[in-house]
Amino acid sequence: MKLARYGERGAEKPALVDADGNLRDLSAHVGDVAGEVLTDLSVLKEIDPASLPLVEGNPRLGACVGGTGKFICIGLNYADHAAESGLEVPPEPVIFAKYTSAICGPNDPILIPRGSTKTDWEVELGFVIGKKAKYVSEEDAMDHVAGFCLINDVSEREYQIERSGQWSKGKSSDNFGPTGPWLVTPDEVGDFDNLHMWLDVNGERVQDGSTATMVYKVPYLLSYLSQFFTLHPGDIISTGTPPGVGLGFTPPRYLKAGDTVELGIEGLGVQKQICENDA
């Protein structure tokens, strides 16, 4: 099952994606794709998509999950990306926060912060917590996953690396977290450890990888995180990126106003963002 949210920012409505890729409005059944709704999606699976109102036109898509309390990212989780960054794979997962004000729809513009000269791209596999998780074993971890989604972990490298402190200041600018278009349930995703992932800048393929090369896999990450803090329904975990980010080019390549970024992960849909200078 694929779930989505559509409409103006801050007033998104829940939707189901039918077999033809059409949005079907779920408002009569749930208030949002968020919170306790995520704990038992089997109720929504019983609904005949044809019985739901068809969403007309081409509305804006919001982030595929609402009410997110924590947006957690994993750094250096692909050995080849760590190498292009001049770093070694860490002995434990690197964890950093992407503040929730960065969350936006999959096709909303990338806003380049004032004065930024090093805004970068990162295609990533995300997963969303469906059931409260605390001290969860790796064996039971998938019982707590509502679904998977596509994320662009947009990053400002000067703020992240050169401005001291934690990475979050370079990861959390407005619209630095395009999420969606869909939240896809694990049964439909299939082998999430072997999904093709890619990202193009202005039509040029710059990232072309697979989740198969992730160092720390999804069940391990969920279990690991749950040892430090409780994960709640709607929390998003972004699992790292393969090589091909702007920082890794010689010389480095970064985004500017007018650039187009397109990215996708097998079975999880596609995003498209136009870069704009933030007001």
Mean pLDDT across 258-272: 98
Q: pLDDT tier at 231 (50, 70, 90 boundaries)?
A: very high
Q: Is the peptide bond before 181 cis (omega within 30 degrees of 0)?
A: yes
CATH number assigned to the domain covering 63-277: 3.90.850.10
Are 255 and 121 within 8 A, CB to CB? yes
Give the side-chain half-sphere CA count within 13 A for 121: 32
At residue 82, the pLDDT reads 74
Q: What percent of the chain has pLDDT over 70?
A: 100
Mean pLDDT across 157-170: 92
Q: Which two tokens stand for residue 143?
A: 């019982």
Q: What percent of the chain has pLDDT over 90?
A: 94
pLDDT of 279 > 90? The answer is: no
In 7-162, where do the E strands start and end? 13-17, 23-25, 71-75, 94-97, 103-104, 110-112, 119-120, 123-129, 145-152, 155-156
Q: Which two tokens stand for residue 154?
A: 């947009």
Dihedral in degrees, nearest 10, Cα atoms 256, 257, 258, 264: 60
The whole model's pTM is what?
0.96
Q: Give the three-class secondary structure for 277.
A: strand
DSSP at 161: I
Mean pLDDT across 265-271: 98
pLDDT tens digits, 179-203: 999 999 999 999 999 999 999 999 9
Q: pLDDT tier at 63 (50, 70, 90 boundaries)?
A: very high
- Single-letter residue type at 248: G
pLDDT tens digits, 64-120: 999 999 999 999 899 877 777 777 788 999 999 999 999 999 999 999 999 999 999
Measured between alpha carbons, how far is 79 from 63 in angstroms, rounded to an integer?
29
Are 215 and 187 within 8 A, CB to CB? no
Residue 144 has phi, psi (to 5 degrees) of: -105, 5
Q: pLDDT tier at 228 (50, 70, 90 boundaries)?
A: very high
At residue 6, the pLDDT reads 98
pLDDT of 13 > 80? The answer is: yes
pLDDT of 123 > 90? The answer is: yes
In sequence order, what are the residues at sequence separation of 6 or more whose Cβ sits closer than 8 angstroms to the Cβ of residue 190?
267
pLDDT of 144 > 80? The answer is: yes
At residue 170, the pLDDT reads 96
Select the more confidently predicted residue: 159 or 89: 159
At residue 46, the pLDDT reads 94
* Surface-to-core class of residue 166, CB atoms within 10 Å of its CB (0-12 exposed, 13-18 middle, 19+ buried): exposed
* Surface-to-core class of residue 133, CB atoms within 10 Å of its CB (0-12 exposed, 13-18 middle, 19+ buried): buried
At residue 84, the pLDDT reads 76
Average pLDDT of the chain is: 96
Give the side-chain half-sphere CA count within 13 A for 208: 5
At residue 76, the pLDDT reads 87
